[in-house]
Amino acid sequence: MHRISAKILLGVAVFLAVILQANTLQAQDAAKLFKANCASCHKPTDQKLIGPGLKGIRSRWPDEAKLIAWIRNSTEFLKTGDAYANKLFEEYGRSVMPAQNLSDAEIIAIIDWTDKGGDAPAAAAADGAATADGAGAAAAETSSDSYLYILIIVGLVLLVLINVLNSVKSSLESLVNEKKGIVVEPEPIRTPTEKFRIWASNNKKIVAVISLLLVIWVLKQGWDGLMGIGVYQGYAPEQPIKFSHKLHAGDNQIACVYCHSGVEKSKHANIPSANVCMNCHMYIQEGPQYGKEEIGKIYAALDYNPETRTYGPNQKPIQWIRVHSLPDHAYFNHSQHVAVGKIECTSCHGPIDSMEVVQQHSPLTMGWCIDCHRKTEVDKDNKYYEELHKQFVNDPKYKKGDKFTIGSLGGLECSKCHY
Ligand code: HEC
Ligand code: HEC
Ligand code: HEC
Ligand code: HEC
Ligand code: HEC
Ligand code: HEC
């Protein structure tokens, strides 16, 4: 009985793993792969970004083998002298598409997905600015992980089933024994841990399968974390002090620059030190929601005694957890956008003043930066741009009706954002 059920369980688990794995590579993983490797330059729609929109891509590339070769390494492919590819390359100002370390199956999944124009929620997530709150991205994440959860749940259900079958079996046996008049010694009483240990040593295969699934799951979580997958829109880590932007910037109307004083002058918007908090919390010692508890953590960081109003020697900075983070190779400057470009914090960070916990509102992908640079028109009346606007209009390539955007200023040049 035990032997057979272990084999069945193993078989079912492997079968399910294969089926579910194969299915998910098509839809969610394609969206994820696209987001990780292509979304900085392409949209899964008709719209251009750095490269062409990829909707209906199969109609432009009737030969799938060529299309795969092109996506894997376009520089190599151009050397074959393919006329269409070389024309496209010239058309896009000889921009080089990075070589991709992807399998055929992964590339085909991306092609299938984009050919249809992407699916609604994931396309919106890749599209960036279009998603209001990152719910789309979060949904795509969960569904792609869910097959592992399903496997674990199926495993647990099978376990319960086996146990039930076993107990049915033993009660049948005792019934038969009773009929035959055989007296069986009652089983010794055991604690649940002992029972589990005995069960585990009788069912080594089941234990092995479950441990294997757990290990795979843990590895996958770790891998996703490393690749930064899922730590995009909607990321809202719990902070060491329950600091609420809604309470401070919303209800109490404290200006953003009061605390983030660097934002108009420098590249970075600084996080305020605990001393800035003390400007008010020297006096405000209790909060409406958490009483003295959370404000007490400010005092603890400064080794401050609110009774005697004295600071001690054991001060340590509050370890705020970073929410927004661009990779090192990308250059972003706050003062350029806030002071010169006159862009509101909320255009990029969303409704911070109604957030209890800060969350990443925008995708912060290259596509997102480029999209805004392409769409945003420069204020011609701003003295700062007067000279540049003259140059733009006098350029021989200028056609009447061309829009004077951040892109026309050079905001689409690779070197402006990459060192
Ligand atoms: C750094 C920007 C960049 C990235 C990343 C990128 N591409 Fe491209 N892609 C381009 C550019 C630019 C072109 C236009 C041709 C050229 O200049 O090489 C292009 C062209 C293409 C074409 C041909 C389009 C047409 O209309 O025929 C396909 C297909 C394509 N890319 C797929 C992908 C896929 C799939 C990925 C991700 C695995 C990807 N690209 C990643 C920049 C990029
Ligand atoms: C009373 C001080 C204070 C005010 C006013 C304030 N903030 Fe903050 N802000 C903080 C602190 C402290 C943190 C770090 C803790 C956190 O993330 O909640 C922070 C974090 C942030 C972050 C996330 C930083 C990261 O790690 O990526 C953003 C974005 C932000 N604030 C924007 C704003 C905007 C926009 C406003 C105005 C609407 C504003 N803040 C007003 C104190 C303040
Ligand atoms: C300009 C004044 C001002 C500054 C600066 C300030 N706060 Fe506050 N804080 C307030 C006010 C006002 C309240 C609400 C008090 C009330 O409603 O009773 C408050 C409440 C709080 C609460 C209590 C929340 C609750 O519901 O219990 C915490 C925690 C807090 N602040 C943390 C901070 C931290 C951390 C900083 C520094 C990064 C900071 N504050 C900076 C004005 C300020
Ligand atoms: C054009 C988009 C944009 C605007 C406008 C903008 N931010 Fe940011 N913000 C970003 C990006 C992108 C990052 C991540 C920067 C990085 O990782 O280097 C960021 C990061 C931050 C951080 C974390 C610390 C840092 O500098 O990395 C804070 C705090 C912040 N922003 C506050 C603000 C405040 C306050 C305003 C308005 C006065 C504002 N931001 C306006 C895009 C913007
Ligand atoms: C909401 C719109 C918006 C978003 C999103 C945005 N920018 Fe900008 N960006 C602007 C505007 C407006 C200017 C013009 C300000 C100026 O003239 O300096 C600008 C200018 C720039 C410049 C200077 C360009 C030049 O020609 O001197 C750089 C570099 C830049 N942005 C980088 C970024 C990066 C990197 C991101 C994404 C992380 C980003 N921007 C996201 C609106 C945006
Ligand atoms: C307006 C700013 C901006 C411009 C212009 C820009 N990039 Fe980027 N780029 C970024 C940002 C921000 C990231 C990081 C995005 C992320 O981590 O998803 C990035 C990421 C990348 C990556 C890493 C791949 C990826 O998807 O993370 C490559 C490769 C790249 N850019 C190439 C280019 C090339 C080539 C050009 C010129 C055709 C260019 N970039 C122009 C802002 C820009």
SS3 at position 287: strand
**What is the spatial distance between Cα 129 and Cα 371, in angstroms, rounded to a whole number?**
8
Flag residues of the chain having pLDDT under 70: 1-27, 120-149, 181-188, 221-232
pTM of the predicted structure, to 2 decimals? 0.64
Which of 241, 245, 248 for a ligand 3 pocket mutation test, highest count of atoms within 8 Å of Cβ? 248
Residue with CA at minimum distance from ligand 5 atom 13: 341
**What is the spatial distance between Cα 352 and Cα 339, in angstroms, rounded to a whole number?**
19
Residues near ligand 4 with C-beta < 6 Å? Answer: 256, 260, 263, 268-269, 271, 324-326, 332, 334, 337-338, 343, 345, 347-349, 364
The residue type found at 263 is V
Residue 123 contacts residue 115 (beta carbons within 8 Å): no
Residue 368 contacts residue 362 (beta carbons within 8 Å): yes
The residue type found at 321 is I
Which of 33, 35, 40 for a ligand 6 pocket mutation test, highest count of atoms within 8 Å of Cβ? 40
In ligand 5, the atom with minimum distance to the C-alpha of 376 is 12
Question: What radius of gyration, in Å, describes the C-alpha atoms of the chain?
Answer: 30
The tokens of 15 are what? 């079968």
Q: Domain limits of the chain? A: 245-358, 376-417
Letter string b/e over residues 360-388, b meaning 16 or more CB atoms within 10 A of that residue's CB: bbbbbbbbbbbbbbbebebeeeeeebeeb
Q: Is the CB of 358 under 6 A from ligand 2?
A: yes
Residue 308 contacts residue 300 (beta carbons within 8 Å): no
In ligand 2, the atom with minimum distance to the C-alpha of 241 is 15
* Look-up of token digits 């089941």: 206
How many Å lie between the centroid of ligand 1 and the Cα of residue 118? Answer: 16
The tokens of 351 are what? 């409704």
Assign 3-class secondary structure to 355-408.
CCCCCCCCCCCHHHHHHHHHHCECCCCCHHHHHHHHHHHHCCCCCCCCCCECHH
**What's the pLDDT at 220?**
72
Residues near ligand 6 with C-beta < 6 Å? Answer: 40, 50, 95, 98, 326-327, 330, 365-366, 369-370, 373, 411-414, 416-418
Which of 45, 97, 365 for a ligand 1 pocket mutation test, highest count of atoms within 8 Å of Cβ? 97
**What's the pLDDT at 18?**
52
In ligand 2, the atom with minimum distance to the C-alpha of 346 is 35
**What's the pLDDT at 167?**
78
CB atoms within 10 A of CB 300: 15
